[in-house]
């Protein structure tokens, strides 16, 4: 008899029964060697997956730790307690406290969310935007480009140096902003003509 459909166990015998022998095509049989291959491939895929997951987890943890550390540094810095994170740092903390800290939201609303129409120009540091504070004061916000390699300490050092260089013939630095990945320097706004006068005397 030749049967091509599936076999269904229609009746269960309590005892004995008749042995049924089924002849299968050779290709339908999973040999011991095939089983070995399947197990080996499964083990390899499993091991590689575990290694990839471990690597991704390790990277995520490292990034998370670095972010937390940076956030802590920024917090302490903004409180004028940088010595707690940079013990050997030669920054003048009194000066840090003297330089006003602007929050990001305030600058975003002053510059119409850093709108292109507010862009005054582009320098080595990044883009410069014109803004207006809630009290009407006009400002120029230098937003450090994300591609800049400048780190947090370098940025703060630069801000400190500029703040110490205040002079009536230099554009005044009003403050700084360090929030998350954002680093900005806030200057008083100089209309084109007065900026030219600064540059060309």
Ligand X SMILES: Nc1ncnc2c1ncn2[C@@H]1O[C@H](COP(=O)(O)OP(=O)(O)OP(=O)(O)O)[C@@H](O)[C@H]1O
| Positions that interact with ligand X (CB under 6 A) | 120-125, 128, 140, 142, 171, 187, 189-190, 195
Closest approach of ligand X to the CB of residue 87, in Å = 32
Identify which of residues 76 and 195 has a Cβ nearer to ligand X in the complex.
195
DSSP for 92-137 reads: -HHHHHHSPBPPHHHHHHHTTTT-GGGEEEE-SSEEEEEEE-TTS-
Identify which of residues 120 and 133 has a Cβ nearer to ligand X in the complex.
120
Identify which of residues 82 and 142 has a Cβ nearer to ligand X in the complex.
142
Closest approach of ligand X to the CB of residue 159, in Å = 14
Identify which of residues 121 and 151 has a Cβ nearer to ligand X in the complex.
121
Q: How far is CA 123 from CA 68, 128, 142, 144, 171, in A?
A: 30, 7, 9, 10, 15
| Residue with the CB atom nearest ligand X in the bound state | 123
What is the Cα–Cα distance from 157 to 92, expressed in whole angstroms? 9
């Amino acid at each position: 008899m030749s049967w091509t459909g599936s076999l269904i166990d229609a009746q269960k015998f309590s005892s004995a029964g008749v042995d049924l022998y089924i002849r299968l095509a050779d290709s339908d049989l999973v040999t011991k060697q095939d089983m070995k291959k399947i197990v080996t491939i499964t083990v390899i895929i499993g091991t590689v997956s575990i290694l990839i997951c471990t690597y991704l987890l390790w990277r995520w943890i490292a990034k998370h730790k670095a972010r937390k550390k940076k956030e802590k540094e920024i917090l302490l810095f903004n409180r004028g307690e940088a010595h707690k994170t940079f013990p050997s740092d030669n920054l003048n903390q009194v000066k840090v406290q003297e330089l006003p800290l602007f929050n990001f939201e305030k600058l975003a609303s002053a510059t119409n969310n850093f709108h292109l129409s507010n862009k005054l120009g582009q320098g080595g540091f990044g883009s410069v935007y014109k803004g207006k504070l809630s009290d009407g004061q006009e400002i120029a916000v230098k937003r450090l480009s994300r591609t800049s390699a400048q780190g947090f300490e370098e940025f703060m050092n630069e801000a400190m140096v500029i703040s110490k260089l205040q002079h009536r013939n230099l554009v005044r630095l009003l403050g700084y902003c360090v929030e998350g990945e954002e680093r900005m320097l806030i200057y008083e706004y100089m209309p084109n003509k007065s900026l030219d006068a600064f540059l060309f005397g």
